[in-house]
Amino acid sequence: MAHPFQCITSISSDNGSCLLAACGSKILSVKLDGTVASEWSAEAVLQSNSAENDDEEDKRPAKKQKTAPVQAIVAASPNVIKLVVSPNQEHVVAITDDKAVRVFSIDADFALNELSQRVMPKRPCAIEVLPDNATILCGDKFGDVYSLPLVASPINGGNEAVNSAPQPTAVQPSTFKPSATTLTVHSGRNRLALEQQMKQKNLTAKSKEPLKFEHKLLLGHVSMLTDHTFATREIDCKQRGYIITADRDEHIRISRGPPQAHVIEGYCLGHTEFISKICLIPGTDLLVSGGGDDWLGVWEWPSFKLRRKLDIRAAISGLGSEETRVAISGLWIAPAVNIDDGMPETVLVATSEQTPALFCMATKSLLEEDSTFTTVEIPKSPLDLTCIDDELLLSLDERTTDSPRLQAYRLTVDASDMQTTVLASRSQETETKLAEANKSPSSKVEEKPLNDLLYGIANLRKRGDASAPDEQTAE
Amino acid sequence: MAGPPQKKQKREEKQKDGELPQKKYYRQRAHANPFSDHDLKYPESPAAMDWAQHYPAFAEPQSANSDAIATPRAMTKQVQVADIGCGFGGLLFALAPRMPETLILGLEIRTSVTEYVQEKAKALRVQHSVAGADESASKAVVAQHENATANPQHGLYQNVSCLRANTMKFLPNFFHKHQLSKIFLCFPDPHFKARKHKARIVSLTLASEYAYVLQPQGRVYTITDVEDLHHWMVGHFAAHPSFERVAKEEEEGEKEDECVSVMRTETEEGKKVERNKGKKFVAVFTRIEDPEWP
């Protein structure tokens, strides 16, 4: 069984273009002449410090031990879960499911060279490099968004001011002292517990080690964070940055960009199910959001107004597949060509988990009253998508070795009719170039862990009845 | 486990209209997990919230056309004071007569406790309706209702209500930007264990949300009997650029803010701490105007 490419992205520089594809714990860089330029594997890197990890785990209190064996398995080969490229196409940032943010430089021959790995306190779920090409924005499942310098610099002993996330708890006495006193505790059982604590003298404080690299906590949700994006607007000839964050509890929050990320400008509210992806429409003030609702929201985000709901449930049920519940797994902006005048256009592409189709709509018709999605059926469920020049490369959940895991499409926009439609055609030429990447050997993999890796979005849906223990799943 | 249903039954048996509810039928475990989904009802946005059912005396008279069903009834006033984690509502009922024209809302995550406060508000409204407390309860309800729509001289406690919510997640679903003038955080769950600190009601990142719903110059009042938690709350609000701690004289002493003294003495927990001869730690913060864009 072959392991599909769970994330793909691309780099375009003066030297041409290159596809980066993550397969389990490996990242391949594939030049568009068909050769594999480099192959990087997360396994090798982790072995060097796995001993250190073990030490740490031994010290853990008894209560946490039930998670320890699970971590050990994961640590064996951390899968790549996110892959992004800096705007200047010089660096690649990957998240692996051992909570590490890994930064790579790319050389002229598109070979990856790992510069740093920084283990975050919680597993990151969204990442991007800001337009300054120097800062990483990294959000984790626990709802916190951090900024990290792209090129890591360790914190020196005397330079603690750099860690500007104020953590009043960081300065803890070395001996444990119960913060409750006989005056605060009321119930009999609590009093007993306190007495026990008082008897146990000189317990060493179990405070978490502070992160050893420069980072800054910008903002946070109590709800589970699912996606974030950085937007800029020009006002009075000055660029203003905004951080837009989305969470499982139906919020889209718009905060100011650093250094004023503590100011919340507003919320785009209206979703009634989880939000899993948000996507800015370039050249406009529009933001598209999707998740568990039957529709995608088109927001005018600077004024927090919902301009339109795009029915996507109808498009999904039109496929006749079993899964008709919406679980948006991706929103992208893809290039296209106008069929009449050959002018460049852009198309919004949406995918839903376990649904073998792309749902396309020309961005210029997003607000047109009767525009609907064009459904492009594909052989298997899409996993990730990237664009090189005017082509769209697609990673499919293809687990047999005889069918390609990567496909290429060209999109055209037909606006001649009353309704603007999108046409898609396979690009055979590019696909032959991808043949080698498609054939590249992959690690053995079981069905179940692979499904867990690829499909997590539908699980965000809340169960109507009992209260789901969120905290445990997030840990 | 016949506990809760029996309690509920007793509640209904014992309580008559206009009679104060008894706390013993509404007790509930003092902790709730803020990260869990629970089974919460919340509006999708503040505009979708039907405040008229909470404050009927402050609702605009129903317009004749029946379109009004789709959108919630308009209000003459907006909620301005929020008591987050109001518990059994001691502070709410102490503040309500002191500021009869300001809408006060208690937010509580525990179902039974919320019900208690709602019942108590209902009973107090009946007892203090303009028509007179001595009349029979049913009559008073009618009178109060007529008062509510026809006469702005409504009785006391019309300005206080309570709803079940997890404010750590859904504060912006209830309140518009800069809507509130005061937020009270009284005797919050201290979450002693370090790994539970993220569940505390005050954190640097949550302070941004409090700043969002508070108007500039609005205030956050905190009180606790746990010194460690006090330092935690002071530390986080002080570190947040949108908040500034008010001068000591306003927190205690001659110039003391009226709300502080009410908070010290009238909250249910405050009374309990008093009985235990415990210490109370108070801190008040002002919300500063947002900075100019850089």
Give the confidence band of A207 by pLDDT, cuts at 50, 70, 90.
low
Contact at 8 Å (CB) between B172 and A222?
A: no
Would you state the pLDDT for residue B65? 56
SS3 of residue A231 by DSSP:
strand
pLDDT exceeds 70 at position A408: yes
SS3 of residue B119 by DSSP:
helix
Would you state the pLDDT for residue A33? 77
CA distances from B78 to A183, B17, B178, B232, B278 (A): 39, 28, 11, 31, 36
Is residue B75 packed enough to be buried (19+ CB in 10 Å), middle (13-18) or exposed (0-12)? middle
> What value of ipTM does the predicted structure carry?
0.86
Would you state the pLDDT for residue A223? 93
Q: What is the enclosing helix (H) or strand (E) of A398?
A: none
Mean pLDDT of A36-60: 55
Mean pLDDT (chain A, rounded)? 82
Mean pLDDT (chain B, rounded)? 84
Q: Does B239 touch chain A (CB under 8 A)?
A: yes
- Smallest CA-to-CA distance from A104 within A87, A121, A88, A86 is with A86
- Residue scoring higher pLDDT (A441 or B148): A441
Task: Give DSSP secondary structure letters for A352-416.
Answer: ETT--EEEEEEGGGTTSTT--PEEEE-SS-EEEEEEETTEEEEEE---SSSS-SEEEEEEEEE-S
pLDDT exceeds 60 at position B4: no
91-150 in chain B: CB under 8 A from chain A: none
The distance of Cα B5 from the centroid of its chain, to the nearest Å, equals 26
Give the confidence band of A395 by pLDDT, cuts at 50, 70, 90.
very high
Query: In Å, how far is A243's CA from the nearest CA of chain B?
Result: 14
A53-105 residue pLDDT tens:
444 444 444 444 444 444 444 446 789 999 999 999 999 999 998 899 999 99
A379: left (phi over 0), alpha (psi -120 to 50) or beta: alpha
Mean pLDDT of A318-341: 87
Q: Any known ligand binding at B90? A: no
pLDDT exceeds 90 at position B84: yes
Query: In Å, how far is B166's CA from the nearest CA of chain A?
Result: 10
Q: Any known ligand binding at B269? A: yes
Give the confidence band of B269 by pLDDT, cuts at 50, 70, 90.
confident
Tokens of A157: 């002993």
Would you state the pLDDT for residue B152? 43
Tokens of B138: 């049913």
Would you call the peptide bond into A4 cis, given omega within 30 degrees of 0 as the criterion? Answer: no
First to last CA, chain A: 31
Q: Angle at CA A64, nearest 5°, toward A58 and A68?
A: 60
B189 in active site:
yes
B142-165 residue pLDDT tens:
444 444 443 445 788 999 999 999
Would you state the pLDDT for residue A154? 66
CA distances from B165 to A83, B86, B174 (A): 37, 11, 9
Q: Does B31 touch chain A (CB under 8 A)?
A: no
CA distances from A381 to A5, A434, B157, B226 (A): 12, 19, 58, 54
Q: Does B246 touch chain A (CB under 8 A)?
A: no
Measured in degrees and rounded to the nearest 5, phi and psi for residue B7 equal -55, -45
Which of A164, A222, A252, A289 is best to mutate for the B interface (most B CBs within 10 A)?
A: A222
Q: Which of A320-334, B28-42, B228-242 tops mean pLDDT?
A: B228-242
Would you state the pLDDT for residue A250? 94
Computed over its alpha carbons, how large is the radius of gyration of chain A?
24
First to last CA, chain B: 60
Tokens of B66: 């029946």
Mean pLDDT of A159-181: 51
pLDDT exceeds 60 at position A163: no
Would you state the pLDDT for residue B69? 55
Would you state the pLDDT for residue A326? 92
CA distance B263 to B267: 6
Q: Are strands A144-149 and A135-140 parallel, antiparallel or unpaired?
A: antiparallel
Would you state the pLDDT for residue B175? 96
Would you state the pLDDT for residue B14? 65
Q: What is the DSSP letter of A154?
A: B
Would you state the pLDDT for residue B96? 92
Contact at 8 Å (CB) between A105 and A90?
A: yes
SS3 of residue A70 by DSSP:
helix
pLDDT exceeds 70 at position A121: yes
Mean pLDDT of A318-343: 87
Give the confidence band of A170 by pLDDT, cuts at 50, 70, 90.
very low
Contact at 8 Å (CB) between A333 and A392?
A: no
- Residue scoring higher pLDDT (B71 or A272): A272
CA distance A408 to A393: 4
Percent helix, strand and coil across chain B, each rounded to 5? 40, 15, 40
Measured in degrees and rounded to the nearest 5, phi and psi for residue A233 equal -135, 150
Q: Do B236 and A168 touch (CB under 8 A)?
A: yes
Contact at 8 Å (CB) between A355 and A321?
A: yes
Q: Does A179 touch chain B (CB under 8 A)?
A: yes
CA distance A65 to A469: 19
Would you state the pLDDT for residue A419? 77
Contact at 8 Å (CB) between B184 and B83?
A: yes
Q: Any known ligand binding at B111? A: no
CA distance A357 to A346: 18
Contact at 8 Å (CB) between A23 and A6?
A: yes
- Residue scoring higher pLDDT (B61 or B279): B279
| Among the ranges given (A275-284, B144-153, B203-212, B277-286), the one the predictor scored with the smallest mean pLDDT | B144-153
- Residue scoring higher pLDDT (A465 or B225): B225
Contact at 8 Å (CB) between B159 and B100?
A: yes
Query: In Å, how far is B110's CA from the nearest CA of chain A?
Result: 13
Q: Which of B189, B225, B228, B290 is catalytic?
A: B189
Q: Does B40 touch chain A (CB under 8 A)?
A: no
Q: Say what percent of chain A tops pLDDT 90.
A: 47
pLDDT exceeds 70 at position B137: no
Q: What is the enclosing helix (H) or strand (E) of B4?
A: helix B3-14
Would you state the pLDDT for residue A340? 86
Would you state the pLDDT for residue B67? 54
Would you state the pLDDT for residue A7? 93
Q: What is the DSSP letter of B59?
A: B
Would you state the pLDDT for residue B133? 43
Contact at 8 Å (CB) between A344 and A337?
A: yes
Is residue B252 packed enough to be buried (19+ CB in 10 Å), middle (13-18) or exposed (0-12)? middle
pLDDT exceeds 70 at position B135: no
pLDDT exceeds 90 at position A241: yes
Q: Do A465 and B39 touch (CB under 8 A)?
A: yes
Mean pLDDT of A28-49: 72
Tokens of B97: 């007569």
| Among the ranges given (A162-176, A209-223, A256-270, A444-458), the one the predictor scored with the smallest mean pLDDT | A162-176
Which of A197, A264, A461 is best to mutate for the B interface (most B CBs within 10 A)?
A: A264
A342-386 residue pLDDT tens:
899 999 999 999 999 999 999 999 998 888 999 999 999 999 999
| Among the ranges given (A19-33, A85-99, A145-159), the one the predictor scored with the smallest mean pLDDT | A145-159
Half-sphere exposure of A302 (CA within 13 A, CB side): 11
Edge-to-edge strands of the sheet including A112-119?
A: A80-85, A91-96, A100-106, A112-119
Q: Nearest by CB to A262, which of B34, B242, B294?
A: B242
Would you state the pLDDT for residue B64? 56
